[in-house]
Each structure stands twice: as structure tokens, then as C-alpha cells.
């Protein structure tokens, strides 16, 4: 991923230095398992441990990376190039590295370890967003605004309910991410076709335990890619939720609406041509990145169906989509965190917009009251819609005034009953109950 959308924590995790460190850890722990099984002489084990310790702790240097790349130009095989370089570092004892293993034993187990760590970062990011959404939901629990369906004014809600809705969706995303974390946290050290022909299952169990992974119950040459597909799907859905929130903020910031607005910092510029502009650039950026994040899912799905016990068509894809997707997801969540934390809410504009239709938002309640008092639903709908269309067409009219003067309605409803119908608190009577359901308090 380009530096513009990469945080340092992800840049480090997916760096060539960290990749080689992950490979080295797998190779060393496999060697250590063999040592504990009596296959590797103690003298050679100690040499290997001493020589590799600095690399397992601090990672590999730019010089190491260049050397591996140099060897790969000849071998045309990055794993063999790496193992050759380890032999240069370790010396003759390196013959006890990679015993009974195939390249994918190292690659898939190391990748699972890296993907697990990346997902843990993303889950931590999402936890902070949950906290912000909860706090801001309570802050605006009773802040009246108009609900919109099809982009058109519908009935009263509160801004807090909108935030609580986002919170609940974020919770579902969190659950999916935890499921994906569990699914991806499997390694395999089972040999060329998964039969453990040249390496016992004890080695696999040992390596996985050391890395905080579990041994895959069964594999062929690789860990099956449905695990990766689930992982990428959870990120794609997460990105779509972020886009949903960002899209709503963009709509609410439109000049003629202006019910909420991204924080505009001192010195910030909105347009090279129009000095007056205050654009929702953070939200727009998140919507764009969500498209990118979703795009990584299809290649992950296509990687599931490989030939027989494995072909290499998935490899080039995963080198790009896994680091990029996790990096983008992390960046998006941190950006969304700041956006929500600093979001400016204009409650007065919410009240202003709520009154734009001059009482039409109470139409359903009028209709229901009439049917409750004996008018047929068809007749009630016809009467209420007739009055409503007059208000749409004549900006000087008020819906409540027309209802109070209509003889057809007055046959069924008293003035006091009509006044209660136009009491907005009727629509919000279960807000506390909804919050209790969402937040459990």
C-alpha cells in the first residue's frame, strides 16, 4: 500500500524485515522441535540458536534483504534464497533447518502469524470506535431530528439513535473479525502434500504453539484458502460499514442540510478555486478506500479453488491483497475514529429541518388515530393524503391547521386528541428502551 494510506504499525508488520523474521521463527522453532525429539544434535542446535537469535529478536537488515534478493535472481525461488542465506549465517549446522518441510510449511505458518497480528490491530482499532459511538450516542440520545427514507422526510428520530445503530453494526463487525481471527490462526508443518511423511505432527504442534497458532486439523501442501477468504470477507464488510457511516455524514454535511459537519481545522483549505469551501474530505476518502477494500475480496475468493494438492496461482495475489487490505482497513478505522470523535453536530439545524414540512411528518399518526376511532383505513389514508398534498403544494399552509379544520376528521377526533397526535414525544417514547437493548444499561 502507498505510504499515504499506511500507518507505521502496519508498515512495520508487513515490511520485508518482519517477513523474514517470521520465516526465521518458523524455521527455528521447527528445528527446536526436532532437537527436543532427539533428531538434532545439541551442539548444532546451540549454534543455530546463537546465530539466529539476533534475527529472531530484532529482525533482518537491509543488507540481509539485498542478499536474499541477490540469491533469488539465480534460484528464482524466494524460500530457497532465504534458506541459502540462513546457511551463510549459520554455517554447516544449517543442514538441520527445514528438515522434512516444504516451502508452504514455512510460508503459510508465517503468514498466519502475521495475519493474526494484523487482525488484532484492526480489532483494537474497532474497539476504540465502539467506545466513541457509545459515548456520542448518549450525548445525543434526545437530540431531535427528522428520519429520512428514500432521502425524503419520514418521521422523528434522534441523532443518538443513528449513532446507536452504527454502534450495533460495529459490534457485529467486531464479532465477524474475531471469527476471522480464529479461522486464520492455524499453521501447518505437514510436508509436501500434508501427510507428515517426512516430519512428525509433534513438530507442527510445537511450532504452532510457539507462535500462538493452532495446528490445522488437515492440510495438503497449504492451509486451505477458504480461511483467507473468510478473513478478507470480514474486512470487506467492515469497509462497507465504514462507508455507510461516512456516506451518512456526507449527506448530513450538505449545505442545505448541515446537521453535522467534519471538523475543519485552522488553516485547512477546501478548494484551490473556491476559498469558501468546507468539504467532507475525510468521509469522501473513506468511501473511496471502502471500494478498494471490497475489491480485494474477489481475488481471495478466486484463490480458494486450486489444482489438486496445490498450485502457485494464489501466491502472487496474496502478496498484494493481504498486506494491502489489512493496511487499508487499519487506516480507515483510525481515520473514522478521529472523524467521529471530532464530528460537529448542529442540533438547531436539525430542529429547523424537522419543521420544513410544516407538520407533515405526523401524517401516519393522524391516519392511525382515525382508523382507531372507526374510519376505514382506505378512507383515512385518502383524507390525510388529500390534506398533505395541499401542504406540499402551498408553502403557506400548515398540516396541523388543516387537520384541526377538516370536518371529516373532527367527526372522529376531538381538538385535544389532535393536539396529542402532534406531540413529538409520542414518537420517541421508546428511545430509552432501545438504548437499553443496544447498550445493556
With contact defined as beta carbons under 8 Å apart, do 5 and 331 qualify? yes
Rounded to whole angstroms, the Cα distance separating 361 from 392 reads 12
Q: Can you tell me the distance from the alpha carbon of 292 to that of 5, in angstroms, rounded to the nearest whole number? A: 12
H-run or E-run covering 399: helix 399-405
CB 215 within 8 A of CB 290: no
Rounded distance between C-alpha atoms, residue 99 and residue 203, angstroms? 10
d(CA 125, CA 25): 27
For residue 386, what are the β-bridge partners?
Answer: none
User: 413 Cβ partners below 8 Å, 6+ apart?
Assistant: 369, 370, 373, 421
Determine the Cα–Cα distance for residues 441 and 432; give it in Å rounded to an integer.
9
Asked about 98 being catalytic, the answer comes back as no
Helix, strand, coil fractions of the chain, as percent rounded to 5: 70, 5, 25
Q: Nearest to residue 296, comparing CAs of 380, 233, 207, 389?
A: 233
- State the Cα–Cα distance between residues 103 and 292, nearest whole angstrom: 30
| Per annotation, catalytic residue among 77, 271, 313, 316 | 271
93 is a catalytic site residue: no
Do 294 and 236 meet the contact criterion of CB atoms below 8 Å apart? yes
Q: How far is CA 376 from CA 92, 139, 152, 403, 404, in A?
A: 94, 42, 27, 17, 19
Cα 350 to Cα 16, 140, 339, 355: the distances in Å are 51, 12, 20, 9
Residues 6+ apart with CB under 8 A from 369: 412, 413, 417, 421
Q: How far apart are CA 368 and CA 361, in angstroms?
A: 13
Q: Which of 150, 265, 276, 308 is catalytic?
A: 150
Please give the Cα distance from 237 to 249 (Å, whole number). 19
Question: How far, in Å, CA of 397 to CA of 13, rounded?
Answer: 63
Q: CB–CB of 186/223 below 8 Å?
A: yes
Catalytic residue annotation: 150, 271
Amino acid at each position: 500500500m502507498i505510504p499515504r494510506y499506511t500507518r507505521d504499525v502496519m508498515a512495520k508488520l508487513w515490511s520485508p524485515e518482519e517477513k523474514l523474521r517470521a520465516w526465521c521463527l518458523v524455521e527455528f522453532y521447527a528445528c527446536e522441535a526436532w532437537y527436543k525429539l532427539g533428531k538434532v544434535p545439541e551442539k548444532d542446535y546451540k549454534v543455530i540458536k546463537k546465530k539466529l537469535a539476533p534475527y529472531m529478536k530484532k529482525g533482518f537488515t537491509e543488507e540481509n534483504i539485498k542478499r536474499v534478493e541477490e540469491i533469488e535472481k539465480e534460484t528464482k525461488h524466494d524460500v530457497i534464497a532465504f534458506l541459502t542465506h540462513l546457511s551463510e549465517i549459520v554455517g554447516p549446522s544449517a543442514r538441520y533447518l527445514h528438515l522434512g518441510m516444504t516451502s508452504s510449511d514455512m510460508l503459510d505458518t508465517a503468514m498466519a502469524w502475521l495475519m493474526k497480528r494484523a487482525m488484532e490491530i484492526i480489532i483494537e482499532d474497532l474497539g476504540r470506535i465502539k467506545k466513541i459511538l457509545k459515548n456520542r450516542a448518549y450525548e445525543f440520545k434526545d437530540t431531535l431530528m427528522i428520519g429520512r427514507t428514500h432521502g425524503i422526510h419520514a418521521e422523528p428520530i434522534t441523532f443518538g439513535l443513528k449513532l446507536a445503530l452504527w454502534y450495533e453494526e460495529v459490534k457485529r463487525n467486531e464479532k465477524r473479525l474475531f471469527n476471522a481471527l480464529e479461522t486464520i490462526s492455524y499453521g501447518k508443518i505437514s510436508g509436501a502434500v500434508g501427510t507428515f511423511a517426512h516430519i512428525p505432527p509433534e513438530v507442527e504442534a510445537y511450532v504452532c504453539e510457539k507462535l500462538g497458532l493452532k495446528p490445522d486439523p488437515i492440510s495438503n501442501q497449504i492451509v486451505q484458502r477458504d480461511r483467507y477468504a473468510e478473513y478478507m470477507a470480514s474486512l470487506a464488510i467492515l469497509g462497507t460499514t465504514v462507508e455507510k457511516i461516512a456516506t451518512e455524514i456526507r449527506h448530513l454535511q450538505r449545505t442545505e442540510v448541515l446537521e453535522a459537519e467534519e471538523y475543519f481545522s485552522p488553516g485547512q483549505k477546501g478548494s484551490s478555486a473556491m476559498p469558501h469551501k468546507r468539504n467532507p474530505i475525510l468521509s469522501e476518502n473513506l468511501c473511496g478506500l471502502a471500494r478498494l477494500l471490497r475489491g480485494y475480496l474477489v481475488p481471495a475468493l478466486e484463490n480458494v479453488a486450486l489444482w489438486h494438492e496445490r498450485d502457485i496461482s494464489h501466491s502472487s495475489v496474496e502478496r498484494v491483497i493481504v498486506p494491502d487490505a489489512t493496511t487499508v482497513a487499519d487506516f480507515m478505522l483510525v481515520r473514522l475514529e478521529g472523524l467521529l470523535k471530532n464530528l460537529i453536530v448542529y442540533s438547531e439545524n436539525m430542529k429547523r429541518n424537522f419543521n420544513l414540512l410544516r407538520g407533515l411528518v405526523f401524517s401516519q399518526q393522524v391516519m392511525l388515530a382515525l382508523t382507531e376511532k372507526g374510519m376505514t383505513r382506505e378512507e383515512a389514508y385518502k383524507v390525510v393524503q388529500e390534506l398533505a398534498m395541499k401542504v406540499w403544494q402551498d408553502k403557506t399552509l400548515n398540516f396541523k391547521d388543516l387537520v384541526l379544520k377538516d370536518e371529516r376528521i373532527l367527526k372522529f377526533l376531538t381538538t385535544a386528541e389532535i393536539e396529542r397526535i402532534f406531540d413529538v414525544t409520542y414518537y420517541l417514547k421508546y428511545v430509552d428502551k432501545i438504548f437499553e437493548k443496544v447498550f445493556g444499561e
